[in-house]
Amino acid sequence: MAFDLLLFGGTVVTPYGTQPLDVGVRHGRIVALGDLAAESAAERLDCAGLHVLPGLIDSQVHLREPGLEHKEDLGTGTAAAALGGITAVFEMPNTRPNTDTAERLADKVARGRAKAWTDFAFFVGATHENAEALGELELLPGCAGVKIFMGSSTGNLLVADDETLRRALACGQRRVSVHCEDEPRLLERRPLVDVEGATAHLHPVWRDEETALRATTRLLRLARETGRRVHVLHVTTAEEAALLAEHKDVATMEVLPQHLVLHAPDCYDRLGTYAQMNPPIRERRHQDALWAAVASGVVDVMGSDHAPHTREEKDAGYPKSPSGLVGVQTTVPLMLNAVSEGRLSLERFVDLMAHGPQRVFGIASKGRVAVGYDADFTLVDLTREHVITHEEQASRAGWTPFAGTKVRGWPVRTIVRGHSVMIEGQLQGAPTGQPVRFVEALGAG
């Protein structure tokens, strides 16, 4: 059997376990697994000493639109992803204050084809204006689903009241991703930070645990009322993790590496506004609860919530400084380091960033090393040690909260549909990203 690409000699993480295995690729798809070293191939890739993971998927990133390229665009954002071992990204919609439409989504997909180093998909944002159109929008090519902000974000992308939330949940069938912070409580508590001498230490005081728990509780009630599946993004509190464990039939859950690696007040002491994000990084008891939720299987997905705010913006002073951390390039190294420390198994990490996204979002033909799936792979060296720096970040933001952090475990090659887009920290060729396909939208339109 002749292959276009043969990965041989490596240790492969499959849905059935981790084992020495060769992988044969033809026309961008996996066509064979087994002892294939003697087979012919146009390209042979010796993976000795490496672990071959299914292509890792970052299902929550924030990139930028035309006119704001000084901050980020699909090219720089996906370059950072590829350098970090990510093969596909799902972009969130809070990048411009206007309502998503079919035309706007089609334009994003066209720009993705021209500029993206990885494969990609886009969430559409729910608003008061488009709630009844969401059922059609969620089926368009390149759409990852619907995103709802229950707490303040950009422009009109805010669904703060139960009536609009109910309308949005009632229209459509795919799982809805939700940022759970209670807007009325945020408005009520805003004076806590509008004081002279305020610092980022006040951020988790303003956006406290109750703010998150109230929104998640409201969401679960309305999800059951409307019969709609929901995905709760960037969970930060012990109370939410415990609540969501009781509602796994209707709700899935995401955690971020920031909340697993950083904790208050230390992060605000060291980083100030460069640790400011929504929902906030909280104290150790919440961090410990999130790790426990990862270990118990309650957590379904890990994303980066990459938000490429500039140093100038972050240096504006709290609370004028925007919330959000740069992260798409550092998620994989940080979690491989957690693997080396024994906090996380490699198989569980793969579940969080490949098998989990495939299940939660119904991704077609991605997220597994299995025959018939896209030939997306993240090759990692679990013994490689590296110190993360600001200078190596491809994001136009040019900084990372993890600068100076020494990690053990590093992505050395990123392969998308059989093509190496990153080798040893260098991008290869030209962008060839394609829209991700989803099972529930196949054949629509």
Residue listed under structure tokens 């990048």: 95
Residue 303's nearest CA partner among 342, 264, 260 is 260
**Among 73, 305, 351, 376, the one annotated catalytic:** 305
H helix intervals, 126-250: 134-137, 162-170, 183-189, 203-206, 209-226, 238-245
H helix intervals, 138-200: 162-170, 183-189
Residue 52's nearest CA partner among 411, 420, 429 is 411
Q: Which residues pair with 430 in a beta bridge?
A: none
CB 331 within 8 A of CB 84: yes
CB 90 within 8 A of CB 120: yes
Report how far residue 49's alpha carbon sits from residue 277's, in angstroms, rounded to the nearest whole number: 37
Tell me the two tokens of residue 424: 């040893």
Is 305 an active-site residue?
A: yes
Residue listed under structure tokens 């109750």: 210
Residue listed under structure tokens 């998909």: 121
CA 349 to chain centroid: 13
- Residue 170 DSSP symbol: H
Cα first-last separation, the chain? 38
Residue 301's nearest CA partner among 157, 442, 90, 19 is 90
Q: Which long-range contacts (CB under 8 A, 24 or more apart) does 248-253 make?
A: 248/298, 250/220, 250/223, 250/224, 251/219, 251/220, 251/223, 252/175, 252/300, 252/301, 252/360, 253/293, 253/298, 253/299, 253/300, 253/301
Could you give the count of Cα atoms lying within 13 Å of 44 in the half-sphere of its Cβ?
A: 11
Q: Which amino acid is at 317?
A: G
What's the chain's Rg over C-alpha atoms? 21
Name the residues annotated as catalytic.
305
